Amino acid sequence: MKAFLLSLTICSGLAMGAKAQVELVNPVPHSVTSTRHLFAAPKAWSVTADRQRQSSYALSALSEIGVEQLAKAASFRVTLGVVGDRSVNKFKKLVPQHEEGYYMAVGPKGVVIAGRDERGLYYGVQTLREMMAKGQLETCTIQDWPDVKFRGAIEGFYGRPWSHEHRLRQIDFYGRNKMNVYIYGPKDDPYHRQHWREAYPENEAKLLQELNIRAHQRGVNFYWAIHPGLDIKWTNEDRDNLVNKLEKMYGLGIRSFAVFFDDISGEGSRGEKQAELLNYVDSVFVRKHGDVSPLLLCPTIYNRAWSGKGDIYLHTLGKHLRPGIEVMWTGNSVVHTIEKEGMNWINERIRRKGYIWFNFPVNDFVRDHILLGPTYGNGLDIADDLSGFVSNPMQYAESSKISLYSLADYLWNMKPYDAMTSWKRAIENLLPAQSQALQVFASYNEDLGPNGHGFRRDESRELKSLCDQAMKGDLSTAAQLREHAQSLATACDLLMTDKTNPWLIEELLPWLMQGKHLAQYAQAVTTLAELVVKGQNNATATEGAPLMSFDAQYNRARALQKQMYDLEANRNVLHEYQTGIKLGTLRFLPAINKLFAVATEKMNAQAGTHYEVVTQYQPFTIETDVPQLKLQPISIYGGEVKVAPSYEIITWPVGSHFTLTTDRPVTLRGMDFNFGKPGTAALFQLECLRPDGTWQKVALLHYNEKDQVIHTGNELGGMTVRAIRITNISGAEQQLNFRHFKFIKD
């Protein structure tokens, strides 16, 4: 009953503060009691705090709000302190009994902020800053605290690491939104992974120091992660190499550390050795210094789908790892939302609360999409089952803030979290000058499209009924769809010329350009669909408006199809690592393509014309008994056909195959693939299915002993085939990367 009454109090308090200044605060506070009285925010104030708070980062944050601080008493007073400070002693019973919690009272004469600890005080200052954002304050009291102890982000994606400036901006963003963790673990940092034993060069070490200092100023734990698993030897020498590297990072001022063994195979993946190493580091490094955060381990088996029979690896970690060492977990699969049942499952095996590595909005496995949609699907009842929760964002740091804003909201106050409301607030926060345009554009950039992890998101929800109707061939939907196309075009134009957040627009630009093409394509298609509905069967009628004929709009639609195709392969437009540019692929584009096909077929039937029905076409399909490769996307640009890479370790059972089939014969000009290790050519057999139904073997080779790329024999060139099949003929299970697979055709 007590829990119910508390929940009711919180909800009613928030309702009273709705559409007022508290509504501007992210994350949504736990308990708010408001009179609804608004008053002008002060232009100056005096600050009262105990002497030991004078160097506090919370007071520094207060000065950054931009209000003049007067040495003498002002008509508006801000009183700050932590439980135990004289300045807030009479409020100590009102401060929540939670780490990082705070109590806040706001009135026309002043503000009191009392934190349970230093970080709680800092978060109270952030709440004040957000309340004042539009020049007013609200008479209210707030009692607030986080549901999840550790909340933040991990720079753990594959691809171009964030720039130093982006990292600083991210850390500032985390502080403003009450997230307390940033894990530095970019896969492409050689001193994190490939050259983990080596010290950073002086200039790079100074940059890490700067990040760590900024993190402290924002109440953020800066975790530096090391990834020794690729080539670690379980010897005293390598054990000491790892500790020595951590000592060097400690010397830079860093006090939080993680050790990663993800996405590897072989000797480095032994669970008992990993536990032994982490326990040793805990003894001789963490406990020695006394001011180091608990270690974080990212295990080799970091999701349920890989756990295997008996979950031996996970039980080994649970049994042998010392209590206090945190274990990271991505959920039921590599990319998955997190729910109660799954947390119970992993916590039982590792004998501690799991620390979630949430692979969203990361897009390193769908590089032709940018993910700007709502963050939803995680359980609202799992706060007590987590030790921490961090998001793995995209290489697009600014665009990732849409999701990160909502995750901060979710992890702070889980039960009332509303994904759509939080998403709209995130967009307003990121680009207030053009928030409506960004919301329209973002709604076409939610779903991931087909991908190897099978993780999908809803998209363009408001268009579902209309697009469903269009997919049935209903041409009467054309007028409404054209209105949405015009809205998308307008949004793209407004965003491309926005100057208020150049960081964001630079990231979005390829998709904005493609969005404009998509909108124009939809306008052309809906116009020709309406011509058919109106019975204008003369395809080339030119009276009055010559370019509004079916023929002109058909050719315009075909021209825009080509422009969209060409843009996807334009290296002058694409970002580094980007493989294409897709948006609106779940509903809007399929609906427009359907209208194009139906309208063209009807015109041909009515007028005896022979217009070709061409929309998007995918002649290649995958057939395989390697589960991790079944859903890999296939892309075609000109004569080059690529299967999307996978950044996890792929398990090839004995005799397993990967087959790429085509619906018509194609003539090959070249082919190669990369499984991440030299010498793998001898483990596989390549065969091509000839048009006469026979399979022909093709030689596989490496150019030298260090070459990871598998090349084909000369007999492949000029061969016409219906399918390509690669088979594991080694007689043993193989665990390998799948870094690239491509061929060139006529």
User: Catalytic residues, which ones?
Assistant: 263
Burial of 251 (0-12, 13-18, 19+ CB in 10 A): exposed
> Up-side HSE of residue 283: CA atoms within 13 Å toward CB?
10
31: DSSP letter: E
Contact 529, 329 (CB under 8 A): no
Q: Six-digit token pair at 515?
A: 């969005």
Contact 597, 605 (CB under 8 A): no
Helix or strand or coil: residue 13?
helix
**C-alpha pair distances (Å), 405 with each of 295, 408, 412, 503, 506:** 26, 5, 11, 17, 20
Q: Which residues pair with 102 in a beta bridge?
A: 115, 144
Burial of 202 (0-12, 13-18, 19+ CB in 10 A): exposed
Cα separation, 282 vs 326, in Å, equals 12
Helix or strand or coil: residue 184?
strand
Q: Six-digit token pair at 89?
A: 């002693």
Closest CA to 368 of 575, 161, 188: 575
Burial of 609 (0-12, 13-18, 19+ CB in 10 A): middle
Burial of 94 (0-12, 13-18, 19+ CB in 10 A): middle
Cα separation, 44 vs 506, in Å, equals 38
Cis bond upstream, residue 361 (ω within 30): yes
**C-alpha pair distances (Å), 630 with each of 301, 458, 646:** 20, 22, 11
Contact 87, 110 (CB under 8 A): no
> Up-side HSE of residue 383: CA atoms within 13 Å toward CB?
18
283: DSSP letter: I
Cis bond upstream, residue 27 (ω within 30): yes
Q: Which residues pair with 388 in a beta bridge?
A: 150, 355
Q: Which residues fall within 8 angstroms of residue 708, CB to CB, at 6 or more apart? A: 674, 675, 676, 677, 678, 680, 702, 739
Alpha helix ranges (H) inside 569-663: 588-607
Say if strands 31-40 and 68-69 run parallel, antiparallel, or are unpaired.
unpaired
Contact 179, 205 (CB under 8 A): no
Q: Six-digit token pair at 519?
A: 């909108």
Cα separation, 407 vs 602, in Å, equals 48
Total Cβ atoms within 10 A of residue 682: 12
Closest CA to 317 of 224, 358, 325: 325
Burial of 43 (0-12, 13-18, 19+ CB in 10 A): exposed
Concatenating the DSSP letter of every residue in 130-183 gives: HHTTTSEEEEEEEEE--SSSEEEEEE--SSSPPPHHHHHHHHHHHHHTT--EEE
